[in-house]
Amino acid sequence: MVATALTGHTVLVGYGRVGSLVAAALADRRLPVLVIEDADAAVAASRSRGAEVLAGNAADPEVMAAANLPGARRLVLAIPNAFEAGQVVEQAKAANPAIEIIARAHSDAEVEHLESLGAAVVIMGEREIARGIVEHIVPLDPAGAHEALNGEAPLGDTGRRGPPPKP
């Protein structure tokens, strides 16, 4: 496997529904991205959009070595399997303790697991959907929606972990 020459890049693991949107947004901002994907169709799709791609499973140490983790700025885990994502987090932190890791999760247990391994930000999809709904309600009920977004109302925790997003 040929190693990337990229530095200061984002390593994006997974080019499915979530990963392809992340890749497109980063490409629009002209940020260097390296995609790691093991599904042939997704590899072809990402390459057709001009992405540099490592074809293989990100839990494979050979694939991760080719991703130049010591030179990477961040790692985005857009895969739904928290166990596999955890293996990748461990490898990334061993290769580059300063790397920023952003991951997705489907449950509180997955959030806790990924954070315990070193992910700085873990986003739970269901909570982000709820957050989007509440944010849409704000003009209709500013006080109640504001309380919900701040965790003071029944919606509670928004699922976002780590520092608040930059404006």
- Is 156 inside a domain boundary? yes
pTM of the predicted protein model? 0.81
In terms of domains, do 141 and 92 share one? no
**Mean pLDDT computed over every residue of the chain:** 88
Give me the pLDDT at residue 47, please: 96
Q: Whole domain around residue 52: which residue ranges?
A: 10-119
In terms of domains, do 70 and 111 share one? yes
Give how many domains the chain has, as a whole number: 2
| Lookup: tokens for 88 | 């990748």
Give me the pLDDT at residue 156, please: 44
In terms of domains, do 102 and 150 share one? no
